[in-house]
Amino acid sequence: MKLNIAKLPGDGIGPEVVEQAVKAVDAVCRRFGHEASYTFAEVGACAIDKYGSAFPESTYKVCLESDAVLFGAVGDPRYDNDPTAKVRPEQGLLAMRKQLGLYANLRPVETFSSLVDKSPLKRELVDGAEFLCVRELTGGMYFGEKGRLDGGDTAYDTNIYHRYEVERILKLAYSYAMRRRRHLTVVDKANVLESSRLWRQVAQELAPQYPEVTTDYMYVDNAAMQLIRCPKFFDVIVTENTFGDILTDEASCITGSMGLLASASIGEKTGVFEPIHGSYPQAAGKNIANPLATILSAAMMFEYAFGLMEEGAAIRAAVAESIEQKVVTEDLADGGKAYSTSEVGDWVAKHI
Ligand code: IPM
Ligand code: MN
């Protein structure tokens, strides 16, 4: 198969980790007889520097004309402490999600047995935990009307959801629950928020169409607690944009390192595959960042963008093996040898 991949490394450690994912993709292509071609484009701070926009039209075109986007991270400390900045790198990511219609962000959380002791939680709580967070990605507070009043002294963000947005993400979450352990947890704040009451109403309407699936409803504050208290309870979690952002950072540490969590953003146009960690500017250029989340995102790309399941599995197996053999970066090294970003990438590619 011909794979036209848009390569958007972005900022910070983005370029280093995406390079390792590219090695994995190339290794898969050699093994399975596919042909990958990459088109580079800028997003985030590097795009602002060059084009004055965090997601320039030219980058959008590259995405549209590709089958999948391999994305690194955006963010730059130059913008973090300047609340008055007019353009910010994060706008690039948000614009990309919106313009490509990527309403679903899939963030699988899995634990590796050999890493459970890296988790801040007790081994018996974590070992065997495996769930999928389905985060709505183009609605809610992130995209609702926002602004300032009173000469700047009052600020607001609007958490707005339309029925069709809620319906399509819930249906998708149900479809994954059907293929998994048939347990869906709808996370909301329906005791306080009107938008959450719409979510719950739509979920209650849909639930009878999926009698095989056990649906439960959980307030987000309780969900934040249960993720830590009892992560094995969960199979599929579905929630709105902001809650999903927060809960998936929390969920990522269950596994022992944020550097392991991959994600797929899918929807109307080209899908984007990216690690959930950010640009980690302190580590940029040092060849120390963990590339596994990005490499696992490439596995998701094979599975979700191309329907090539064996190819995705080959990447997963090599990643699991690298963890097993302790060929890992410093965040997972645990006093043992810390391999560099590129050494881990080379090792994984070789084992594919
Ligand atoms: C994420 C990130 C982004 C988000 C930021 C960088 C805009 O935290 O992908 O989770 O909040 O969605
Ligand atoms: Mn986040």
Please report, in tens digits, the pLDDT of each residue of the chain (352 residues total): 999 999 999 999 999 999 999 999 999 999 999 999 999 999 999 999 999 999 999 999 999 999 999 999 999 999 988 888 889 999 999 999 999 999 999 999 998 888 888 889 999 999 999 999 999 999 999 999 999 999 999 999 999 999 999 999 999 999 999 999 999 999 999 999 999 999 999 999 999 999 999 999 999 999 999 999 999 999 999 999 999 999 999 998 898 788 899 999 999 999 999 999 999 999 999 999 999 999 999 999 999 999 999 999 999 999 999 999 999 999 999 889 999 999 999 999 999 9
Catalytic residue among 82, 117, 221, 334: 221
| 199 within 8 A of 188, measured Cβ to Cβ | yes
Q: At what angle do helices 309-324 and 341-351 cross, to 10 degrees?
A: 130
Whether 189 is catalytic:
yes
Q: Ligand 1, from 13, 94, 242: best to mutate by most atoms within 8 Å of Cβ?
A: 94
DSSP state of 4: E
78 CA → ligand 1 middle, Å: 17
245 CA → ligand 2 middle, Å: 5
Q: Ligand 1, from 106, 141, 245, 252: best to mutate by most atoms within 8 Å of Cβ?
A: 245
pLDDT (0 to 100) of residue 115? 86
> Which residues does ligand 1 sit against, CB inside 6 Å?
90, 93-94, 245, 276, 278
108 CA → ligand 2 middle, Å: 14
Whether 245 is catalytic:
yes
Catalytic residue among 79, 103, 142, 280: 142
pLDDT (0 to 100) of residue 117? 85
pLDDT (0 to 100) of residue 73? 97
Whether 122 is catalytic:
no
Whether 249 is catalytic:
yes
| Number of other residues whose CB lies within 10 A of the CB of residue 40 | 12
C-alpha distances out from residue 108 to 173, 223, 254, 264, Å: 12, 16, 12, 9
Nearest-CA residue for ligand 1 atom 7 is 90
pLDDT (0 to 100) of residue 201? 98
pLDDT (0 to 100) of residue 118? 85
pLDDT (0 to 100) of residue 121? 93
Separation CA 41–CA 10 (nearest Å): 8
CA atoms within 13 A on the CB side of 184: 28
Nearest to 137 by CA among 185, 177, 93: 93
Q: Which atom of ligand 1 is nearest to the CA of 105?
A: 9
Q: Which atom of ligand 1 is nearest to the CA of 245?
A: 10
Whether 142 is catalytic:
yes
| Number of other residues whose CB lies within 10 A of the CB of residue 319 | 26
| Number of other residues whose CB lies within 10 A of the CB of residue 219 | 16
pLDDT (0 to 100) of residue 112? 84
336 CA → ligand 1 middle, Å: 32
Instruction: Report the alpha-carbon angle 10-96-4, nearest 5.
Output: 75
**What tokens were used for 146?**
């926002």
Q: Which atom of ligand 1 is nearest to the CA of 137?
A: 12
| 9 within 8 A of 278, measured Cβ to Cβ | no
